[in-house]
């Protein structure tokens, strides 16, 4: 959504203007953007809605700024684009593995929480799906997977983890051809949509900044010689 990315850039300019002493500290600016953008977006959109013809604010952006419903459906398994994903808990009681995911993201890379010279480039993230949620914004819904943080289900690729026989605390990552699931009733598949639904009502969790997540030992979970990182 183009207007959303325009607002992201506008918010970053707003931060640099408001905090001129920090305008060259990339990591500080990114953390500030991550923690204040939602509140700023709500105020920005609301002020624009007071103008004539809503100042061109689209309906989708309006509902996005309002936030999702606190009633969040949760699933053990989910079928998207012909690929079946499970939560880790669901995999633990089955013979197959469908909870491993990989995300390639344009992210800020730091050597430690005190790194003053971060590099922005592509970084791979690996992890297991802990929760599968559908966020309802009234006019549209979006599916997210939760590990330590949230990722959109449409952005990840499925991977499989095999224990490394030489290093017992590590896993080998395998990428396999996607299995096709037919739209049939039975075998836990209900059409080309979600399956094994458990609903609950819960407030959306806050996502901490990198500093709070990593702390002083943020680089200890990074294996030497690898560009990608493992998220536990």
Render pLDDT for 153-191 as a digit per residue (tens, 0 to 9).
Answer: 988 999 998 888 888 888 888 886 655 555 444 444 433
Distance between CA atoms of residues 7 and 45, nearest Å = 10
Q: Ramachandran region of residue 81, left (φ > 0), alpha (ψ -120 to 50) or beta?
A: left
Cα–Cα distance for residue pair 143/152, rounded to 1 Å? 6
**Tens digit of pLDDT for each residue in 197-212?**
444 444 444 444 444 4
Return the sign of the alpha-carbon dihedral for residues 144, 97, 105, 215. positive
- 133 vs 190 pLDDT, higher one: 133
Return the SS3 of 122: strand
| Separation CA 125–CA 104 (nearest Å) | 6
In this prediction, residues 211-217 reach a mean pLDDT of 44
For 3-49, how does the pLDDT look when each residue is reduced to its tens digit (9 = 90+)?
A: 788 889 999 999 999 999 998 888 889 889 989 998 999 888 888 77
Alpha-carbon gap, residue 168 to 161, rounded angstroms: 12
d(C-alpha 123, C-alpha 62), whole Å: 31
Average of pLDDT values for 137-165?
90
Q: Are 88 and 99 in contact (CB under 8 A)?
A: yes
Rg (CA), the chain: 20
What end-to-end distance do the CA atoms of the chain give, in Å? 31
Average pLDDT of every residue of the chain:
77
Q: How confident is the model at residue 131 (pLDDT cuts 50, 70, 90)?
A: very high
Reported as a pLDDT band with limits 50, 70 and 90, residue 107 is confident
Q: CB-based burial of residue 61 (10 Å sphere; 0-12 exposed, 13-18 middle, 19+ buried)?
A: buried
Task: State the Cα–Cα distance between residues 62 and 227, nearest whole angstrom.
Answer: 38
Distance CA 161, CA 228 (A): 15
The answer to whether the CB of 1 falls within 8 A of the CB of 8 is no
Once rounded to an integer, what is the mean pLDDT over residues 88-108? 90
Model pLDDT, residue 215: 46
What confidence tens digit (pLDDT) does each residue in 71-93 have?
999 999 999 888 899 999 999 99
Distance, in Å, from the CA atom of 124 to the CA atom of 109, rounded to the nearest integer, reads 11
pTM score: 0.66
CA dihedral 56, 61, 65, 68 (to 10 degrees): 150
Residue that wins the pLDDT comparison between 193 and 130: 130
């Amino acid at each position: 959504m183009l207007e959303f990315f325009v607002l992201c850039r506008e918010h970053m300019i707003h931060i640099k203007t408001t905090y001129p002493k920090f305008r060259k500290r990339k990591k500080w600016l990114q953390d500030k953007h991550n923690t204040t953008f939602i509140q700023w977006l709500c105020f920005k959109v609301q002020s624009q809605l007071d103008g004539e013809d809503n100042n061109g604010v689209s309906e989708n952006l309006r509902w996005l700024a309002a936030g999702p419903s606190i009633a969040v459906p949760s699933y053990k398994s989910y079928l998207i684009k012909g690929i079946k994903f499970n939560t880790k808990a669901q995999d633990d009681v089955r013979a197959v593995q469908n909870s491993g995911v990989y995300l390639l993201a344009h992210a800020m890379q730091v050597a430690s929480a005190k790194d003053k010279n971060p590099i922005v480039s592509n970084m791979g993230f690996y992890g297991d799906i802990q929760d599968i949620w559908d966020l309802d914004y009234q006019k549209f819904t979006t599916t997210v997977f939760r590990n330590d943080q949230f990722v959109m289900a449409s952005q990840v690729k499925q991977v499989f983890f095999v224990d490394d026989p030489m290093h017992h605390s590590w896993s080998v990552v395998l990428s396999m051809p996607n299995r096709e699931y037919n739209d049939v009733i039975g075998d836990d598949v209900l059409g080309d949509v979600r399956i094994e639904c458990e609903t609950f009502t819960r407030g959306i969790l806050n996502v901490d900044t990198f500093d709070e997540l990593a702390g002083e030992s943020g680089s200890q979970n990074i294996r030497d010689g690898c560009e990608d990182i493992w998220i536990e």
